[in-house]
Amino acid sequence: MTAIPTLEGLSAIAEAYDLILCDVWGVLHDGSKGHVPAGEALIRFRGLPGPRTRRVVLVSNAPRPADGVGRILDRFEVPRAAYDAILTSGDLTRELIAERPGARIRHLGPERDLGVFRGLDVTLVPETEADLVVCTGLFDDRAETADDYRDELTRLAGRGLTMICANPDLVVESGNRLIPCAGLLAAAYEELGGAVIYAGKPHRPVYEGALKLAAGLDGGRAVDPSRVIAIGDAIRTDIAGARGFGIASLLVARGIHAEELGVSAEHHRLGDVAEWLAEQSVHPDAVIERLVW
């Protein structure tokens, strides 16, 4: 494997890019506090001179519309000046649901995610009356696991219902814990023979949507993919998605893989990650401990 550089800051490579597709959870905040230097780094990037305006589109696997993610970022004091736009898996989920007007939906997920259905021509129904499953997460992601859903998932798969997974993440960092996400239930559903449509990273439509959104900010002027970099903390979604789409990627080590990389304690410094990276099926173009300038 070719040696992967470890960067001290985004400034080392920023001039090479016009567009950053930046992950949210694990990069800009950890579910309990915002990462101030990350927001500052994105502001510095957006201010760089060049032949075209530098843009930042936040690309999140949050199972809620972009405005909801914006409010969360406000709460964590991530400045609006750090980004131009937000695209979420919740936005893509709404598009998929809108293609099925009148759907009777079994929603798997907490009440806080109900905004994904707002204004759509659907009815939320019990399991036995459903013709479509939408999974936004676990009802109680602090106490439950995928095994708690196996019986219902088996029944739903046996009826041949399609599941839309509104968050392909398996886990997400929250403080010093990893919290299970909708992707775990979707993976279990597939194992049981159920059909799953994934909205979000690492799947291609979210990247196509993000580049379209970025182009719209500049009067429809498309961004050269060679001038685009994705930043995120998850090999399976952020890095694999970027690699599959053909754009560069930067792995934030102090995120969901922190413990594997030996940097789970705040005082630990990022060391040699080559051995760990060599075991991965996809590789980033560079690694950074935290997103800083």
pLDDT of res. 178: 73
Residue pair 201/87 in contact (Cβ under 8 Å)? The answer is: no
Least confident of 34-43, 62-71, 209-218: 62-71
Mean pLDDT of 79-107: 96
The sign one gets for the Cα dihedral 67, 68, 71, 73 is negative
pLDDT of res. 175: 58
On the question of pLDDT at 259 being above 70, the answer is no
Candidates 3.40.50.970, 3.50.50.60, 3.40.50.1000, 3.30.70.270; correct CATH number of 99-198? 3.40.50.1000
- Mean pLDDT (the chain, rounded): 90
Chain region(s) in the chain for CATH 3.40.50.1000: 6-90+202-288, 99-198
Least confident of 11-15, 27-31, 88-92, 104-108: 27-31
Mean pLDDT of 96-125: 96
Please give the angle made by the CA atoms of 246, 250 and 255, to the nearest 5 degrees.
130
pLDDT of res. 267: 44
- What are the pLDDT digits (tens) for 179-216? 788 999 999 999 999 999 999 999 999 999 999 999 99
Give domain 6-90+202-288's CATH architecture: 3-Layer(aba) Sandwich (3.40)
**H/E segment holding residue 188:** helix 182-191
Short-list 105, 113, 63, CA closest to 88:
63
Q: What phi, psi does 105 have (nearest 5°)?
A: -110, 130
pLDDT of res. 254: 75
